[in-house]
Chains A and B, each alone.
Chain A
Amino acid sequence: MLRVFLGLVIAFMLAPIVFVVINSFNASPLSPFPPQGFSLRWYETALSHEAFRAGFVTSALVGLMSTALALLVGVPAAYALVRYRPRGAGLWRGLLFAPLMTPRVTLGFAAFVLIISIARPLYGTLLALALVHAVLIVPFVISIVSANLVLLDRTLEEAARDLGATPLQAFLRITLPQMRIGLAVSAVFAFITSFDELETSIFLLRPPHTTLPVQMFIYMEQWQNPTLAALSTMLIAGTFLLLGLILVAFRAGDVGRIFANRKIH
């Protein structure tokens, strides 16, 4: 009985995604159900739509920058919190995780007013948006990397230190390689989160130089032909491709163990 219910819930969770994919092949521009005819023309339209192409490039660039930033500042933070357990760790963690509990729209607007007041030249740049996204992503990086760190065997690091390695050397040559999974998973999550972000991007980048989700949002307010479905299907495929890469590169069991160990914050 309960399993049947779970099946319904799974169907509910998959429904919008499945129907988007189905509709991307709908020959009729009015998106009726059942679909009338099979056509690939919406993929052609989506791939040649200038705003979508520009949006994709923008989102990808911002995603790469924000992921790099988040990893650069987040990995040391996670290491400090897990290995050194500083006093006031709760305070630091609270500060770093505060952006998660804040409404995205207010975050976007706060970043906007900050930049136009204090860092005017940064306004409208991809770097500014990447920095804001990084603030959002850092908690995820810290969570995942911490979960990974906790699973590692500290004696290997200590042995390296005993043999004369500096803390940095021990970290780079012993710890970091062992954290491959945590780093890869947080990088992929970070990139996807940044790519998909809308409510902060909409305040910091004005069309036509804005990210792909914002372009889609604008498009959706006016038109609703299956071009959006084709674009969405490609994005969905891309997302699952990235996820699949992780599961292929590392054993699924190892990846699962990191998540099984995580406590909800």
Chain B
Amino acid sequence: MSTLHPLRMASFALLAPSVLLTLAFFGGGLVVMLVFSLYGFTGGLMERTVTGQAWAEMATDGFYWEVIGRSARIAAIVSVIALLIGYPAALALNSLRSPGWIAFAYFVIFAPLLVAVVVRAYGWILLLAEAGFVRWAMDLVGLPPTRLLYDEPAVIIALVHVMLPYMIFPIASVLRQIDPALNEAARDLGAGRLRCFLYVTLPLSLGGVVAGLQIVFTLAMSAFTVPVLLGGGRVLVFSKLIFDNVSSLNWPMGAVQSLVLIGATLFVVMAFELLNRRLATTGR
């Protein structure tokens, strides 16, 4: 539409409440957090004097970087597994023809997003416990007993479960937009199913793959509930570290770490964004 003055004013007025709300709590919160990150921490309480000691501690203490490394590593593993499971699932979703089955499949895959993460985490605790279903099934098949729960494997499995819809959605969306005539043309020219997939479908779907990886990696990197509940204290991730610092009133450190986590998230988002641009321009 046009941008005549009364319309411009109207659109600003309509946008103002939501923008102000977000600026206030989101923007304002970040500003205060930045200020807090510079304060000192002595005698177990924050001191409102600018010392920058938390930043110094963050930069030099290897322990914190180990935790970041763990979060990133888990996020990477979860992303790769989610991709390996999610891509074929998206392909399968896209190949469904009957509207009834399509609706059912989409519902079952995406409805769990509306069930609270605590509930789903509890479900995985039940499944992966010593007395749970997975161990029972493993015994049945004759697999050796390995500890799953309260360690990294359980965290990864549960995170994959939580992240899978976020991986499937962008890939399925992109696959849906690929013109079937392209595959037909390839088949007509003599290509087999595999070649069709590798040379037509896969390259055209990379945008969705990158989008999915972007979302899953950033969400997994900042995950809190699942690693805490399923890790049993053995899987210390960065979000838990932030929470622990805040709980022990070390707000400057909490602020520093929060800003580092935001920075890392931004970095990952932009890195994937660049990857997407590169893929688009090389025409693959």
A residues less than 8 Å from B92 (CB atoms): 2-3, 5-6, 9
- Nearest Cβ distance between residue A77 and chain B, in whole angstroms? 4
Residues facing B in A185-239 (CB within 8 A) are 189, 192, 195-196, 198-199, 202-203, 213, 216-217, 220-221, 224, 228-229, 232, 235-236, 239
B residues less than 8 Å from A99 (CB atoms): 22, 26
B32→A86 contact, CB < 8 A: no
Number of A-B contacts (CB under 8 A): 260
A residues less than 8 Å from B40 (CB atoms): none
A residues less than 8 Å from B21 (CB atoms): 69, 73, 131, 134-135, 138
B residues less than 8 Å from A15 (CB atoms): 123, 127
State which size class the interface on B falls in.
Answer: 35 or more
- Nearest Cβ distance between residue A223 and chain B, in whole angstroms? 11
Interface residues as binary, A50-61 with B (CB distance below 8 Å gives 1, 0 otherwise): 000000000000
Q: Is B185 located at the chain interface by the 8 A CB criterion?
A: no
Q: Is B129 located at the chain interface by the 8 A CB criterion?
A: yes
Say which residue of B126, B211, B239, B262 sits within 8 Å of A16 (CB atoms).
B126
B112→A13 contact, CB < 8 A: yes
- Complex alpha-carbon distance, A117 and B28, angstroms: 10
- Complex alpha-carbon distance, A112 and B246, angstroms: 10
Interface residues as binary, B1-45 with A (CB distance below 8 Å gives 1, 0 otherwise): 101000110111111011101110110111011001000000000
- Complex alpha-carbon distance, A31 and B242, angstroms: 32
A86→B11 contact, CB < 8 A: yes
Q: Is B120 located at the chain interface by the 8 A CB criterion?
A: yes
- Complex alpha-carbon distance, A165 and B40, angstroms: 60
A106→B26 contact, CB < 8 A: no
Residues facing A in B117-142 (CB within 8 A) are 117-127, 129, 131-133, 136
Q: Is B51 located at the chain interface by the 8 A CB criterion?
A: no
- Complex alpha-carbon distance, A72 and B20, angstroms: 13
Residues facing B in A30-80 (CB within 8 A) are 30-34, 69, 72-74, 76-77, 79-80
Say which residue of B32, B103, B119, B161 sits within 8 Å of A118 (CB atoms).
B32
User: Which of A95, A105, A114, A228 has the largest number of chain B CB atoms within 10 A?
Assistant: A105
Q: Is B78 located at the chain interface by the 8 A CB criterion?
A: no
B239→A9 contact, CB < 8 A: no
B residues less than 8 Å from A229 (CB atoms): 122, 126
A residues less than 8 Å from B258 (CB atoms): 103, 105-106, 109-110
A residues less than 8 Å from B239 (CB atoms): 103, 105, 199
State which size class the interface on A falls in.
Answer: 35 or more
Q: Is B279 located at the chain interface by the 8 A CB criterion?
A: no
Say which residue of B8, B23, B221 sits within 8 Å of A86 (CB atoms).
B8
- Complex alpha-carbon distance, A111 and B229, angstroms: 24
Classify the secondary structure of B's interface with A: helix
Residues facing B in A118-145 (CB within 8 A) are 118, 131-132, 134-135, 138, 142
- Nearest Cβ distance between residue B189 and chain A, in whole angstroms? 23
- Complex alpha-carbon distance, A114 and B30, angstroms: 8
Known: A32-B131, A103-B239. A138 touches B18 (CB 8 A): yes
Say which residue of A30, A105, A256, A264 sits within 8 Å of B173 (CB atoms).
A264
A residues less than 8 Å from B132 (CB atoms): 19, 31-33
Closest residue to B112 on the A side, CB-wise?
Answer: A13
Say which residue of B26, B108, B218 sits within 8 Å of A107 (CB atoms).
B26
Residues facing B in A90-112 (CB within 8 A) are 92, 95-96, 98-99, 101-107, 109-112
A239→B114 contact, CB < 8 A: yes
- Nearest Cβ distance between residue A197 and chain B, in whole angstroms? 8
Q: Is A250 located at the chain interface by the 8 A CB criterion?
A: no
Q: Is B222 located at the chain interface by the 8 A CB criterion?
A: yes
- Nearest Cβ distance between residue B208 and chain A, in whole angstroms? 8
A92→B19 contact, CB < 8 A: yes
Q: Is B143 located at the chain interface by the 8 A CB criterion?
A: no
A86→B15 contact, CB < 8 A: yes
B26→A135 contact, CB < 8 A: yes
A residues less than 8 Å from B30 (CB atoms): 110
Binds A, one of B60-68, B83-91, B198-206: B83-91
A/B interface sample: 10 pairs, CB < 8 A? A6-B88, A6-B92, A14-B112, A19-B133, A80-B15, A99-B26, A101-B265, A103-B262, A236-B119, A264-B169
3 closest Cβ pairs, A-B complex:
A16-B123, A110-B29, A103-B222
Starting from the known contacts A77-B15, A106-B242, A232-B119, 9 additional A-B residue pairs (CB-CB under 8 Å) come to A15-B123, A76-B14, A80-B10, A96-B22, A102-B265, A103-B239, A106-B33, A138-B18, A216-B122
